[in-house]
Each structure stands twice: as C-alpha cells, then as structure tokens.
Amino acid sequence: MLFINLYGIILNSTIVPLDLQNHQGLPVKRILITGATGQIGSELTPALRKRYGDGNVIAAGHKRAPDETLRSTGPYIALNVRDSAALEKTVQQYNIDTIYHLAALLSAVAEEQPQLAWDVNINGLLAVLEIARLHNCSVFHPSSIGAFGPTTPRHKTPQETLQRPNTMYGVAKVAGELLCDYYFTRYGIDTRGVRYPGLISYETLPGGGTTDYAVDIFYGALREKRYCCFLAPTTRLDMMYMPDAIRAAIEIMEAAPANLLHRNAYNIAAMSCTPEEIYASIKTHIPDFTIHYEVDPLRQTIADSWPESLDDSAARNQWQWRPEYDLESMTADMLARLAEKLG
Ligand code: AKB
C-alpha cells in the first residue's frame, strides 16, 4: 500500500522524504540516476541535487558507494539496472519522473567482454525504457562519439550520417540511440540524449575507455611529471571538460520538447585535440613534464575508427548548447583542482 502525505511517501512503514520545494523555482522533479558512482554520475548527482533539492535525486550504483558524499547528501541505493523488478520498485517507491541512465561499460572494456557489454548496455537500457513507459518517466541516455565508425566522415561529423561502428560499445550505442527514438515515436516517452566526446574530469576516474588517457595524463603530470600514453601522439579526438558535459545533460533535459527534432542523441563538442596537444598545454604549466608513447593496439584501433571532431550545430540551434571550456581553460582548471585534490 502506498500513501503520500506532507512528509513523504509511506511505503512498508518507511518514510521516503519528499522535497516539495527546490532552490531555483524549477518544477519539482523526482530523479533517479543509474551508474551514479561512475565518472559522469559522481558529478551529475551533486549538480542535480543542488538544482532540484537533495531529497529529490536518488543515486543508484554499486553496493558500496566509492565515497561518502553520494550517501550523505541524499538517498543512495544499490541497484542492478538489468533487474527490472528492482528498478520498477525503486521508481514507484521514490515516485520517480526522470531517469538519467548512466550505467554502462566503456569502449575498451566492452571490447574485452562484448557479450557482457551488450547485456549491460542494451538490456539495461531496455529495462529502463520499459519502466519509463509503464510509469511515464523522461529518460536521459548518453550516446558517444563511439556511435560512429570507420566509414563515417571523420571531420566535422554531421548530426545525421553513416553509423556503422566496428566495436561492441559502438554497436550498443547505435542500438541505444535507435531504441530511444523508437520509444519516443511509438510510445511518446520523452527520451533525450547527447553524443559525448572523451570526458576529462578530476573527481572520478573513467575506467575502461579509449579516451581515458586524457584524464590519466593530468595525474601523471602532477604525481610524477611524466606520463606513458597508450594512444599515438597525433590521434585526434573530440574531448570535453566535465562541467560542460554535466551542463549539457541538465540543459537538454530542461529544453522545450517542441524544439528537439532528434530523440536519439545530439552531437555536442567542445575541443578537438591530440595527446601531443594536451601534453603541450600541460607543459605550459609544468615545464619539466615529459611524455612517451607505448601504443595499445586495441585502444588505438578503436580511436582510429572514431571521428576527429563533431558538428554540433543541431544542438546549438535547437537547445542553445554552448561549451564553456577550451583546451587552455580546461587544462588550467583541471591542474588547479586536481593538485588540490591530490594535496
Ligand atoms: C570511451 O572512451 O569509451 C568513452 C567514450 C568516448 O564514449 N570515453
């Protein structure tokens, strides 16, 4: 039996507190974030809690949250996204209307375990979309530059173009984009997404991605003043600093629905750079920083199949997407914040 009163939802005699106000005069949302302990989730969760109220943002992740912050600032639950019964119970228990579905395997680890990657990345998404259909939730699903492949135009990759990736990560991203489109057109589910470039952040390490070098290099620079890079020096890929990535996720979910012509995912871009350019940028702050290269064939092959830069004009025109950080401003901020974190 489920009752709602001023204090919250009473379920099996547990009161789940409802924040009826939020701090910004925005409509109250009840948000579930899957994969909340990951690279994006660990920064998106506090940003959404600040915006919509701590009690309105339920973080779901591993049994053990990596640090206390996620648990101490709002509700935290352990959840396996492929367990649709548990997912549905959570959505009902917390009266969820918006799901940020971030739980997924990244590209390099997905290539090592393709069957598991399909299971987590697609069956997890399908479970989320089904629960969203049954309980009328909006869904944010991140796609990636990995949704493109070697036959896609590599420079200024258009919003709509050939998508024939040759990695399981990419295959699942394309299928995920199509599923989001399908649930929108077939059932009217409010699905929205962006194609993220490689993400650079100081809070949580990515783990298992092809673009992870762009985070690791900052740790190398600050800890040892040297770094061994697993991609070749001239491998050019789109990158984005995490504050821009978080803002994109929030802004697209707040955009007027009528403006959104694409329900699969929008290209978004901020900077397009190579390992040697990131190295040069760090070196302006740490002159004795050195780099050498030991190319990892798996990750190099994946990187070589991805675009060098995305054309993000559809996102710019339809929901006013604008990045704030370029290579120089990202490097300066990243070094300052990571230095503080590493003490
Ligand atoms: C990865 O490298 O797998 C991710 C991505 C670009 O999707 N960072």
Could you tell me how many residues make up the chain?
Answer: 343
Sole residue written with tokens 């995305």? 310
pTM attached to this predicted model: 0.92
Q: What is the pLDDT of residue 70?
A: 87
Q: 98: which 2 tokens?
A: 């918006």
How far CA 229 is from CA of 172, 196, 214, 334, in Å, comes to 27, 22, 9, 18
- Whether 196 sits among the annotated catalytic residues: the reply is no
Q: What is the pLDDT of residue 56?
A: 97
Nearest to 145 by CA among 136, 137, 157: 157
Q: Is 6 helix (H, G, I), strand (E, B) or coil?
A: coil
CB contact set of 72 (below 8 Å; sequence gap of 6+): none
43 secondary structure, DSSP code: H
Q: What is the pLDDT of residue 317?
A: 98
Q: What is the pLDDT of residue 26?
A: 74
Give distance in angstroms: CA of 289 to centre of ligand 1. Answer: 25
Q: What is the pLDDT of residue 68?
A: 80
Q: Which residues pair with 16 in a beta bridge?
A: 9
Q: Which of 52, 94, 100, 169 is catalytic?
A: 169
Q: What is the pLDDT of residue 195?
A: 98
- Determine how many CB atoms are found less than 10 A away from the CB of residue 13: 5
Q: 331: which 2 tokens?
A: 């490097």
Q: Whose CA is nearest to atom 1 of ligand 1?
A: 209
Q: What is the pLDDT of residue 20?
A: 52
Pocket probe for ligand 1: among 210, 213, 242, 271, the residue whose CB has the most ligand atoms within 8 Å is: 210
The span from the CA of 297 to the CA of 303, in Å, is 10
Give me the tens of pLDDT residue by residue for the chain, a chain 343 residues long.
333 333 344 333 344 445 555 556 777 899 999 999 999 999 999 999 999 999 999 999 987 766 788 888 999 999 999 999 999 999 999 999 999 999 999 999 999 999 999 999 999 999 999 999 999 999 999 999 999 999 999 999 999 999 999 999 999 999 999 999 999 999 999 999 999 999 999 999 988 999 999 999 999 999 999 999 999 999 999 999 999 999 999 999 999 999 999 999 999 999 999 999 999 999 999 999 999 999 999 999 999 999 999 999 999 999 999 999 999 999 999 999 999 999 9
The span from the CA of 213 to the CA of 267, in Å, is 22
Q: What is the pLDDT of residue 69?
A: 82
Do residues 201 and 242 lie in contact, with contact meaning Cβ atoms separated by under 8 Å? Answer: yes
Do residues 156 and 309 lie in contact, with contact meaning Cβ atoms separated by under 8 Å? Answer: yes
Q: Is 52 helix (H, G, I), strand (E, B) or coil?
A: helix
Fold of 17-198+241-269+310-324: Rossmann fold (3.40.50)
Q: 202: which 2 tokens?
A: 């100081």
Nearest ligand 1 atom to the CA of 199 is: 8
310 secondary structure, DSSP code: B
Q: 232: which 2 tokens?
A: 């070749």
Report whether residue 144 contacts ligand 1, using a CB cutoff of 6 Å. Answer: yes
Do residues 146 and 107 lie in contact, with contact meaning Cβ atoms separated by under 8 Å? Answer: yes
Q: 69: which 2 tokens?
A: 């912050």
Q: Is 87 helix (H, G, I), strand (E, B) or coil?
A: helix
Q: What is the pLDDT of residue 245?
A: 98
Q: Whose CA is nearest to atom 7 of ligand 1?
A: 144
Report whether residue 38 contacts ligand 1, using a CB cutoff of 6 Å. Answer: no
Q: Which one-letter amino acid corresponds to residue 186? A: R
Report whether residue 44 contacts ligand 1, using a CB cutoff of 6 Å. Answer: no
Give distance in angstroms: CA of 75 to centre of ligand 1. Answer: 28
Q: What is the pLDDT of residue 34?
A: 98
Structural domain boundaries in the chain: 17-198+241-269+310-324
Q: What is the pLDDT of residue 23?
A: 57
Q: Which one-letter amino acid corresponds to residue 120? A: V
Report whether residue 198 contacts ligand 1, using a CB cutoff of 6 Å. Answer: yes
Q: Whose CA is nearest to atom 8 of ligand 1?
A: 198
